[in-house]
Structure 1
Amino acid sequence: MRINRSDNNAENRVQPTSPAPAAQEAKEEKAAVQPPKKKEEPVREKTKPQKKRKAKQEEFEDEESKPRRRFPLGCLIVLIVLVLVGVGAYQVMKFYSEIDGGTELGPEQTITVEQGSSVSSIATQLKDAGIIQYDWLFKEYVKYSGKAGGIQFGEFTLRSGMDYNTIIQTISQETYRPTTNVTIPEGTTAVGVAQIFVDAGLVDSIDTFLNCANGTDGSDFSQYSFWTQIPDNGRLMKCEGYLFPDTYNVYADEDVYYYVDTLYAEFEAKTEGLTDTINQKGTTLDDVVKLASFIQEEAGVEAEDAKVSACFHNRLESDDPLWAEHKLESNACSYITQDVENNYLWNSPTAEYYGWPALGAIPEDVLNAYDTYRISGLPAGPISCPGYAAIEAALNPDQEYLDEGYFFFVTGHPDTDVAGQYFYAKTADEHQANVEKAGWAY
């Protein structure tokens, strides 16, 4: 039989044949008989975790791409302002509480307001004592309340926690602490000053006053610059010359230190403006006071102070061979036994205090330190407490009398028509003639 191949191929192309059922069964049976192969672990695909990481990364990128929410600057400023306002309000409340007074009062304290104290110093004093907390606030309150003029000096009882009005009212009340006036004439010796305070009933004895004034009882006045500059050179008294002569209104119930301190404070106040001139002159305050004490004793009249000063300066500083030893030669401090002469070593309160007249002789060491006819230059210490005019004259002698070379002077005898007049001379002969004119020739 003839087979048509082209038709067969066409059929194969159109209808593909599947394996015969018998063959398929044999295949499956063979597979069932064969031992099972070791099952390999399937390789797990890591597609899912990668997808998760990718998703998170995309989410993070989305977060980054989104604008972040920031704390508004305006809110920050408002918050700061509110804090400042709160703190300020709290502080203002403290100030008002200070002015109005506290709920509890502290223990009583005695506050002493010195005469002449400023409102500022009083406020500082109250703060230091714990009466108030803010001295500047108290000062401004007193200032703007117009009550500064009513504040008095004296001792007052105050307590912490008091309101400002009560404090001001308390220290504006007049106190009736007893006072007394004390007058110290210019040229008074230290012993004489002590006697004045004894006579006024303020100090029990001259020794009590002088021991304090000289610091021998342990009293310390180093708060004053002049005190630390007084040399320890064998002088009789450290205080001599520095107990400033004036009229003082002092408390009558104080201790001796208070009285001495009052005089020293006045000396410091009166002489502190002379420092520059003293330095320019190349001298010391102590030497100025020494010379001033002699001017005070020898002149005694302010109009003559500068001329007498010129005579002393010429004696101490002249190149004249007759004055080569530069002796002061003042009768106010020498071995002169005439009662009519005012002599520091012979008939003064100082001489009486040391008992020299009674002994009939002045100790040799004292003469070597103070006798102006024996020693050259100024003595160991002043011989009295000079006034300001004499101190200024010691620094500024009369220039004409200085240049003309006057060395001598004498005053008219009190029992003559020329009493109180001054006679000046350049030479010893001229001076002797003036002594006769002044009524001192015997």
Structure 2
Amino acid sequence: MRINRNDSGAAGGASQNRPAPTSEVKKEPTAGKEPTPEKKAAPAKTRKRKAKPEPDTEEGAEHTRRHFPLGCLIVLIILALVAFGGYKVMQFYGEIDGGSELGSEQTITIEQGASVGSIATQLKDAGIIQYDWLFKEYVKYSGKAAGIQYGDFALRSGMDYNTIIQTISQEVRRPTANITIPEGTTAVGVAQIFVNAGLVDSVDTFLNCANGTDGSDFSQYSFWTQIPDNGRLMKCEGYLFPDTYNVYADEDVYYYVDTLYSEFSAKTEGLMDTINEKGTTLDDVVKLASFIQEEAGVEAEDAKVSACFHNRLESSDPLWAEHKLESNACSYIMQDVENNYLWNSPTAEYYGWPALGEIPEDVLNLYDTYRISGLPAGPISCPGYAAIEAALNPDQEFMDEGYFFFVTGHPDTDVAGQYFYAKTAEEHQANVEKAGWAY
């Protein structure tokens, strides 16, 4: 009898509902397909959770640092910057509004023409304000720059900006004086002008400063360092530029001398290229200019007189082989009509030569233009710009034609002020008679 395995009954009474073990079940191959090897079931993976390091351990601290939120750090930085910015803004407002306590009073001198920027720097250096750039911008945007004056002002640290601006906008100006120095004035004469104006106590005080014998230093000017120490009477002669000046009336002597030297430097700076091209020196140009100033005195004649002097100094004519300047303005000639640097000028009086009746021999060897060849040791006055320019640029036609002599009409004649030029000594003598100087 055949047993049906699908029946609920089982042979020998055993239950047949339990499925057969997987290992015992074999699948029949499907027609047309190659049998595939059985896949072995992979064992289930168990994920182990890594334990977090304890915060109290070194590993835990490092873990905390690595995982500090970046966003929090950025927020903290921004907050710090905002706090610092707020602090600085409060400082700026405090500066503008002024401090609770005022410092001691200081006198601040604002120079004429000073810029707002330079004034702000001056106030900062004096401790009146802390931020020069802030003061500058405040003045600029408040529209009060035009009202600032020059002069002496009493200010204190801790003042608010408006009070500072109001104070320095008051017209409290320093006293000034107008000084006019005529062209051709000697150094002694210039000193006397400042003494007469009540600005300097004595001629010696002025000259000691101007010559540097009191220790005054003017080496900021290149011309000053190039003046040779050759025995000249005064280093300053020729360089105290003649002009009209408006100066402070309460300054020291250095300020006045420096004002004149500064003007000389500014006026002659543009001539230096030509001076170098011609192979001469500024000192020699000033020397010759001082003679042109004395002998011509009329700007229209400066270049012609300069040509005569150049010919005497440079000509190859045998009659002028010694190249003497032969100017009566600085020589042994003792005539009242001559404005002679050595005999009847303020310089001669300053040194006392007329009273002595003679000029020291060593001085004549340096300055007597009838005795020495070339230019004297130093200038004989302070020439103006026109004479300086003429010394550098003589009348070329007069030089080429060979003019050596000149004379001006006697003041008591109808040719007073006229100039007569000559090429030879004979022509010159005839001109002297025409000019009314023959006795």
What TM bracket, shorter-length normalisation? 0.7 to 0.9
Are 2:112 and 1:115 equivalent residues in the alignment? yes
Mapping for residues 319-330 of structure 1, pairs under 5 Å: 319-330=316-327
* Deviations 1:291-324 (CA, angstroms, capped at 9, x unpaired): 1111111111111112222222222222333222
Tell me which residue corresponds to 1:244.
241
Give unpaired runs (5+ residues) of structure 2. 1-45, 52-65
Tell me which residue corresponds to 1:355.
352
- Partner AA of 2:136 in structure 1: K
Distance 1:369 1:195 in 2: 25
Q: 1:290 to 1:109 in 2, by over 3 A?
A: same
Contact 2:152–2:173 (8 Å) recurs in 1? no
Q: 1:281 to 1:171 in 2, by over 3 A?
A: farther
- Partner AA of 2:126 in structure 1: A
Secondary structure in 1 aligned to 2:329?
coil
Alignment counterpart, residue 299 of structure 2, candidates 298, 302, 309: 302
Tell me which residue corresponds to 2:290.
293
Distance 2:136 2:400 in 1: 56
Give, in angstroms, the shift of residue 267 of structure 1: 1.9
Mapping for residues 45-60 of structure 1, pairs under 5 Å: 59=50
Tell me which residue corresponds to 1:34.
none
- Partner AA of 1:302 in structure 2: E
Secondary structure in 1 aligned to 2:334?
coil
Tell me which residue corresponds to 1:430.
427
Tell me which residue corresponds to 1:219.
216
- Partner AA of 2:416 in structure 1: A
Distance 1:389 1:171 in 2: 41
- Normalising by structure 2, what TM-score? 0.79
Distance 2:394 2:112 in 1: 36
Give, in angstroms, the shift of residue 123 of structure 1: 2.2
Distance 2:190 2:226 in 1: 22
- Partner AA of 2:361 in structure 1: E
Tell me which residue corresponds to 1:101.
98
Q: 1:115 to 1:346 in 2, by over 3 A?
A: same
The structure carrying a bigger helix percent of its residues is 1
Give unpaired runs (5+ residues) of structure 1. 1-53, 61-68
Distance 1:277 1:100 in 2: 57
Tell me which residue corresponds to 2:170.
173
Give, in angstroms, the shift of residue 369 of structure 1: 0.5
- Partner AA of 1:372 in structure 2: T
Calculate percent identity across the aligned residue pairs. Answer: 89
Secondary structure in 1 aligned to 2:417?
coil
Q: 1:320 to 1:100 in 2, by over 3 A?
A: farther
Distance 1:155 1:439 in 2: 58
Tell me which residue corresponds to 1:127.
124
Tell me which residue corresponds to 2:332.
335
Secondary structure in 2 aligned to 1:110?
strand
Contact 2:310–2:399 (8 Å) recurs in 1? yes
Secondary structure in 1 aligned to 2:261?
helix
Tell me which residue corresponds to 2:265.
268
Q: 1:80 to 1:176 in 2, by over 3 A?
A: closer
* Deviations 1:306-362 (CA, angstroms, capped at 9, x unpaired): 222222222222233322222111111111111101110111011111111111111
- Partner AA of 1:180 in structure 2: A
Give, in angstroms, the shift of residue 436 of structure 1: 2.0
Distance 1:88 1:272 in 2: 51
Mapping for residues 153-192 of structure 1, pairs under 5 Å: 153-192=150-189
Secondary structure in 2 aligned to 1:180?
strand
Tell me which residue corresponds to 1:202.
199
Q: 1:79 to 1:282 in 2, by over 3 A?
A: farther
Secondary structure in 2 aligned to 1:120?
helix
Distance 2:277 2:81 in 1: 57
Tell me which residue corresponds to 1:378.
375
Distance 1:203 1:101 in 2: 42
Distance 1:136 1:398 in 2: 55
Q: 1:78 to 1:142 in 2, by over 3 A?
A: same
Distance 2:404 2:210 in 1: 35
Give, in angstroms, the shift of residue 82 of structure 1: 5.4
Give, in angstroms, the shift of residue 107 of structure 1: 1.8
Mapping for residues 395-406 of structure 1, pairs under 5 Å: 395-406=392-403
Give, in angstroms, the shift of residue 413 of structure 1: 1.1
* Deviations 1:383-416 (CA, angstroms, capped at 9, x unpaired): 0111122122222222322333322221111111
User: Rg: which structure is higher?
Assistant: 1
Distance 1:72 1:396 in 2: 84
Q: 1:434 to 1:83 in 2, by over 3 A?
A: farther
Distance 1:150 1:379 in 2: 53
Q: How many equivalent pairs are there?
A: 382
Tell me which residue corresponds to 2:315.
318
- Normalising by structure 1, what TM-score? 0.79
- Partner AA of 2:140 in structure 1: K
Tell me which residue corresponds to 2:28.
none
Are 2:152 and 1:193 equivalent residues in the alignment? no
Alignment counterpart, residue 394 of structure 1, candidates 391, 410, 424: 391
